[in-house]
């Protein structure tokens, strides 16, 4: 049975492995554009936290989020490829929503790259598209522009 809890320092290697495996598919579609200064500014402004989905000692999923003035922003959501389509992403999103309730934040927000198809997955998890813009921090694998889809889930409005 999957249990959601906060990430501990002892989870670091397993979390890194899940993220690496989960993002391998994405890297066939897009890649980050090197802008270390922008990332450093973001990291200075917001401190992210992580939740992990575990079964016993095994970590199957990760949600990274941080608090913004009006929402909890989901920076990353990763499920081990061998454990997808089992409700792990939904459980992680629901756990982040519980934190939003405790912190009195009315919504969850996130961004994804349109070309990955992940916006449809997030739509099934209760998110709606609020904006689409060219992603300045990412590019397609051949250097082409990709579209960043900004999405929101109002608390209590999951599917």
Is 57 contained in some domain? yes
Tell me if 20 is assigned to some domain. yes
Q: Flag whether 15 is in a domain.
A: yes
pTM for this predicted structure: 0.85
Q: pLDDT by residue (tens digit) across 114-136?
A: 999 899 999 999 999 999 999 99
The domain of 45 spans 3-154
Residue 17 resides in a domain: yes
- Give the C-alpha separation, 113 to 126, whole Å: 17
Q: Is residue 115 part of a domain?
A: yes
Number of domains in the chain: 1
Is residue 126 situated within a structural domain? yes
Answer whether residue 40 shows pLDDT above 60: no
Sign of CA dihedral 15, 75, 64, 55: negative
Is 9 within the bounds of a domain?
Answer: yes
Here the CATH number for the domain that contains residue 15 is 3.40.630.30
CA distance 81 to 102: 31
């Amino acid at each position: 049975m999957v249990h959601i809890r906060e990430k501990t320092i002892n989870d670091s290697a397993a979390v890194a492995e899940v993220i690496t495996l989960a993002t391998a598919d994405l890297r066939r579609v897009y890649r980050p554009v090197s802008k270390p200064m922008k990332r450093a500014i973001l990291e200075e402004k917001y401190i992210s936290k992580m939740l992990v989905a575990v079964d016993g000692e095994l970590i199957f999923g990760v949600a990274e989020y941080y608090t913004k003035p009006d929402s909890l922003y989901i920076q990353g959501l990763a499920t081990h490829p061998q454990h997808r389509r089992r409700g792990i992403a939904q459980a992680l999103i629901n756990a982040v929503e519980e934190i939003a309730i405790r912190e009195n934040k009315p919504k969850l927000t996130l961004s994804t790259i349109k070309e990955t198809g992940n916006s449809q997955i997030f739509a099934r998890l209760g998110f709606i598209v609020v904006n689409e813009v060219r992603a300045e921090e990412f590019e397609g694998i051949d250097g082409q522009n990709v579209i960043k889809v900004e999405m929101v889930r109002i608390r209590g409005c999951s599917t």
